[in-house]
Amino acid sequence: MNIILDTHAALFYAAGEGLGPNARNLLADSERRELIISDVSLTEIARLITRKRIFPPEDPVSWLENFTRSFTVVPVTAQTAFLAANYSFAHRDPADRQILATAQVLGVPLVTKDRELTRLAPKSGVRVVW
């Protein structure tokens, strides 16, 4: 089963800590699963580095490139962009909307602790794991 991780979940996974128990159990067998992140997560992480909320131990671009090796990075597509832009709910974060739309289009569970996404995902047919 493939799985998409929200940005914070991907960071927690890479750090080896901070995941919820269900997410930890699901990701424990990651060799048999394709772990996916949306390309928008890379922008979010770069922004966190720029704002000094994450301190990579090496050159930020090199660190980000190394980080992505644990995941399949999927690009924004016309379908996910249109879906994310047309959700009828009030979640304003465009990155979260894109991540949810990607999970919906791919038909995969979403690993997130984001309360808004957890509340909204079932309306899109997406199962949330944390």
Q: Which amino acid is at 116?
A: E
List all residues 6 or more positions away from 105 whose beta carbon is below 8 Å from its beta carbon: 77, 79, 80, 83
Q: Tell me: pLDDT of 65 over 80.
A: yes
Tens digits of residue pLDDT in 99-120: 999 999 999 999 999 998 999 8
Query: What distance in Å separates the CA atoms of residue 62 and residue 73, rounded to the nearest whole number?
Result: 16
pLDDT at 4 over 80: yes
- Distances from the Cα of 37 to the Cαs of 45, 74, 88, in angstroms? 12, 6, 23
Average pLDDT of the chain, as a whole number: 94
Contacts of 85 (CB under 8 A, 6+ apart): 97
Contact present, 72 and 35 (Cβ < 8 Å):
yes
Query: What CATH class has 3-129?
Result: alpha beta
